[in-house]
Structures are given as C-alpha cells and as structure tokens.
Amino acid sequence: MFAKLTSALTRAILVALLLAIPAILLPSVSPDAVQIVLFFAVFASVLVFIEYFSTYPSIVEFRFAPPFNRIRFIAIFLCVFTLSLIARGEMAPSTITGFLTRLGIVVGNLIDIPYSPVHLMVIMLPDNASPELVQSVRVASGISYFVSLAALAVFFFYVRILGWPARNGAFNVWVNLPLFDPTAGGDVLPRLQRDARLNIALGFLMPFLIPAVIQMMSDLINPIYLDDPMTLIWTISAWAFIPVSMIMRGIAMGRVAELIDENRRRAYAAAQALQLV
C-alpha cells in the first residue's frame, strides 16, 4: 500500500510540475495565467493520483506495461522544458538558454526542408509575421519534432529489440487497454490490427494536416497568436507530441495483436499434436 501511494504521489507531482514549468521559468507571466496554470496542474495531478492509486484502471493505457507511458512523459517533459528555457533566454539570457537556442537553430534549419512538418509550421504563419517569430517557430518546431522522433525510436527499440511487452511477463489486455472492450463484437485480433493501423496512419498524417487545418480555420475564427511564449510552447509541444503518441499507441496495439496471434498459433499446434497422439 505504501509503495502504491508513493508511486501515485510521485507521478502526480511530476504531472503538476510539467504543467507548471512554463509559468515557473517564464519571467513575464501574468497573475491570471499563473492561477489558470495552477488550477490545471492541481486538477491533472489529482486525476493521475486517483488513476495510479486505484487497483483497477479507468483511463490510462498500458499502465502495467512500462516503459510506454514513461517514454511519452519524458518526451513531452523535454519538449516543454526545453522550449521554456529557450523562451526564457529571449528575456533573461544565460549560458544554458544560449546553448539550447543555438542547438535549436541548427536542428530547425536541418529539419526545415520543403514539405516537412516543420516547414509547414513555418509557412502557416501570416505574411506579416516578424522574422523573430518565424525563427522562434522554426526553432521550437525543430526541437519538438526531433524529441518526438527520438522517443519513437526508443520505443521501437524496446518493441523490436527488447521484446516489449513480453519481457515484463504476462500481458493483461484488460488492465492495459481499459478503453478497449475485447467482448464488443467480432474477433479481437482484427480489431486490434485495425486500430493499430488507424493510429499509425493518423499519427503520421497529423503533423502535416494540423498546420493546414489551422491555416484554413484562421480565416474563419481568431488565429492562434504564437508570439505569446506560453501559447507557442504548448501549441508546438502538442503538435509534436500528440502524433507520436498515436504512433506509439498503434505500434503497441500491433505488438499486442502479434502476441495474441502467436499464442493462438501455439495453442492450435498443441491441440493438433494431441489429436495425432
């Protein structure tokens, strides 16, 4: 019980810290924005604490199949933390902020090629955008996209090289996929495979579709003002993190489908061997 309490409390504190990082690091945050961030941080931490302290899962997927959620959290944490430091460097320069800014410029320029997601984020900006804003968006997009690709590569290594999730013992579909009902009509194997392909396809398309959708919607509603540092941090982080999270979910569900198929093949082979005896 104490170990579960400590684990749930630690995760809740980390989630609250993640949401509060921009408000903590940015020197020019209004008191109203701090109150809003504090509210969301407390609310999210309470949800995480309840989820991990309870015996039965309700929302969080792959809760008992590390390091799936740990990789996702580290990726979004690095994105938010790095972008917050770079934004802070524009108002309060330091050695670390200068280094991260130069690194972001290099990464952003390397990834900002025609038809790349980073390039689409840059050309999404209005024609009257200042050169400083264009550079900030390029740097933030490049770093966030690079971190998300690195997280995806790490998870792919765990799946294909280290044999996730079989290396952690028996995999329970119910506790690790609480939102997936294995009894809701049809064979569970093709449903898992279909959901896996759908998540992977959407994850690959979203970095390209989101800038286009935002640009089209900006003609109908108020556009997103990325010149605000906090808006820039959360918009770019979400743009990079949500697609890679969907791809990871698709890979994970595809891996679960593979395990189920392998277990079925072994069961069928054992049944046939018994019939021949």
Domain boundaries, the chain: 1-55, 69-180+189-276
* Cα 163 versus chain centre, distance: 21
User: Most distant CA pair in the chain: distance in Å?
Assistant: 80
User: For residue 136, which of 77, 94, 92, 89 has the smallest C-alpha distance?
Assistant: 89
State the pLDDT confidence band at 276, using cuts at 50, 70 and 90: low
* pLDDT at position 167 over 80: no
* pLDDT at position 183 over 80: no
Which residues lie below 8 Å from residue 171, measured CB to CB, with a gap of 6+?
A: 65, 165, 256, 259
State the pLDDT confidence band at 250, using cuts at 50, 70 and 90: very high
Q: What is the DSSP letter of 165?
A: T
Question: Which residue would you say has higher pLDDT here, 87 or 212?
Answer: 87
- Give me the sign of the Cα torsion angle 87, 100, 208, 246: negative
Q: What is the pLDDT of residue 266?
A: 84
Mean pLDDT of the chain: 87
Over range 150-158, report the average pLDDT.
95
Q: How many C-beta neighbours within 10 Å does residue 21 have? A: 20
Quote the tokens at residue 14.
Answer: 């980390």
Percent of the chain with pLDDT over 70: 96
pTM: 0.91
Looking at residue 201, its amino acid is A
Quote the tokens at residue 21.
Answer: 């990082």
